[in-house]
Structure 1
Amino acid sequence: MSKLRCCARHGGWFIVLALALILSGCATSNGPVLPATTGGLGGPEAASSRAMSLVRLGETALRTGESTSAAQLFEQALVTDGRNLAAALGLGRALLLLDRPLDAGRAFERALAIDSTAAAAHYGYARAMMAQRRPEMAVEHLRAILERQPDDASALNALGVAYDLEGRHDLAAESYRKGLTVAPASVPLRNNLGLSLVLQGRFDEALAILKPLADGTGSTRRTRQNLALAFGLMGDTTTAERLSRIDLGEEETRDNLAYFTAVRALLDTRLQAEALAPRPPAAGIPEDLQEKMPGPAAGSVPGAPPAAISAIDPPSRAASAPAAPAGTEALRPPTGARMMGMDDGGPMRL
Structure 2
Amino acid sequence: MGKFGLVLLAGVATIALAGCATNRSGALNADYANLSGPQIQSSVADLSQRYAQDPRNKVLGIHYAAALRAAGQVEPAVTVLENLMSVHQGDPELGLAYAKALSAAGRFEQALRVVDNAMNPVTPDWDALSVRGAILDQMGRPAEARQAYKQALLLAPNEARLHANMGLSYAMTGELIQAETHLRQAAALPGATSKVRQNLALVLGLQGRFEDARALYAAELPPEQVQANMEYIRALLTQQDRWQAIQNDTPA
TM-score, structure 2 length as denominator? 0.69
Larger Rg: 1
- Contact 1:75 1:91 survives alignment (8 Å): no
1:108 — aligned with what?
81
Relative contact order higher in (CA < 8 Å, ≥ 6 apart): 1
Shift of 1:131: 1.6
Cα distance, 1:120 vs structure 2 = 1.8
Go from structure 1 to structure 2 and tell me whether the alpha carbon gap of 1:181 and 1:94 turns closer, same or farther (over 3 Å shift).
Answer: same
Contact 2:198-2:217 at 8 Å conserved across structures? yes
Q: Contact 1:179 / 1:189 at 8 angstroms: preserved in 2?
A: yes
What is the identity, as a one-letter code, of the residue corresponding to 2:125? D
Partners of 1:194 and 1:207 within 8 A in 2: yes
Compared CA separation, residues 253 and 91, structure 1 to 2 (3 A)? closer
On the 8 A contact 1:151/1:182 being kept in 2, the answer is no
- Cα distance between partner residues in 2 of 1:214 and 1:88: 31
Tell whether the 8 Å contact from 2:68 to 2:77 is kept in structure 1 after alignment. Answer: yes
Structure 1 residues 10-33: Cα deviation after superposition (integer angstroms, max 9, x where no partner): xxxxxxxxxxxxxxxxxxxxxxxx
Tell me the equivalent position of 2:54: 77
Equivalent position SS for 2:219: helix
* From 131, 139, 150, the counterpart of 1:166: 139
Shift of 1:216: 6.0
Q: Deviations over 1:30-72 (max 9, x none)?
A: xxxxxxxxxxxxxxxxxxxxxxxxxxxxx9xx9x964312222
CA-based RMSD: 2.8
Aligned partner of 1:139 in structure 2 is 112
Shift of 1:244: 1.6
Counterpart contact for 1:169–1:196, Cα < 8 Å = yes
Against the structure 1 CA distance between its residues 105 and 237, is the aligned structure 2 distance closer, same or farther, given a 3 Å change threshold?
same
The equivalent residue for 1:239 is 212
Q: Cα–Cα, structure 1 residues 129 and 260, in superposed 2: closer, same or farther, change >3 Å?
A: farther
For the residue of structure 1 that corresponds to 2:132, the secondary structure is helix
* 2: CA distance, partners of 1:196 / 1:93: 23
Whether the aligned pair in 1 keeps the contact of 2:158 and 2:189 (CA below 8 Å) is no
Match of 2:175 in 1: 202
Aligned-residue offset at 1:181: 0.6
* Contact 1:93–1:104 (8 Å) recurs in 2: yes
Letter in 1 for 2:89: S
Cα-to-partner distance string for 1:82-101 (whole Å, 9 max, x where unaligned): x5544544543443344321
Question: Contact (CA 8 Å) 2:133, 2:145: kept in 1 or not?
Answer: yes
Matches within 5 A, 1:55-66: 66=43
Q: Distance in 1 between matches of 2:69 and 2:156?
A: 25
Aligned AA (1:235): G
Partners of 2:211 and 2:159 in 1: CA distance:
29
The count of residues paired between Structure 1 and Structure 2 equals: 202
Letter paired with 1:247: E
SS in 2 for 1:247: coil
Deviation at 1:174, TM superposition (A): 1.0
Moved over 6 A (4+): none
Once residues 175 and 84 of structure 1 are traced to their aligned partners in structure 2, the CA distance between those partners, rounded to angstroms, is 31
Quote the residue 2:165 is aligned against.
192
Cα distance in structure 2, aligned partners of 1:195 and 1:250 = 25
Cα distance between partner residues in 1 of 2:189 and 2:121: 35
Which amino acid counterpart does residue 67 of structure 1 have in structure 2?
V
Unaligned runs of 5+ in 2: 1-28, 33-38, 241-252
Alignment partner, residue 67 of structure 1: 44
2:201 aligned with 1:228: yes
Q: Which runs of 5+ in 1 are unaligned?
A: 1-58, 268-350
Cα deviation code 1:116-152 (max 9, x no counterpart): 2111221111111122122222211111122456421
Following superposition, the deviation at residue 154 of structure 1 comes to 1.0
